[in-house]
Amino acid sequence: MTAELKSEIASLDQQRDEIVEALLAYAKREGVTTVVGSEKEARISERVDVLLPRKTAGPGEVKEKAALLGGLAL
């Protein structure tokens, strides 16, 4: 991939992130979960994902995840 393409991708990623932040701020300020535009609509939601280590994880990873969960014994 050329440097020019990488730069363009980085710029587009930054624009997308700015749009997402603006949508989140607007939805929070207006108390809405859907923002409708002339061609598209964005649904705003919050969720919490809890990822636990797999059985094949090493003991260090299990301890690290347990510490993140507030010291729960796994």
Q: Are 27 and 35 in contact (CB under 8 A)?
A: yes
Share of the chain above pLDDT 70, in %: 82
33 has a pLDDT exceeding 50: yes
**Per the structure block, which two tokens stand in for 15?**
């624009």
Distance in angstroms (rounded) separating the CA atoms of residues 54 and 62: 9
Positive or negative, the CA dihedral 32, 24, 10, 1 is negative
- Reported confidence tier of residue 68, pLDDT bands at 50, 70, 90: confident
pLDDT tens for each residue of 11-31: 999 999 999 999 999 999 999
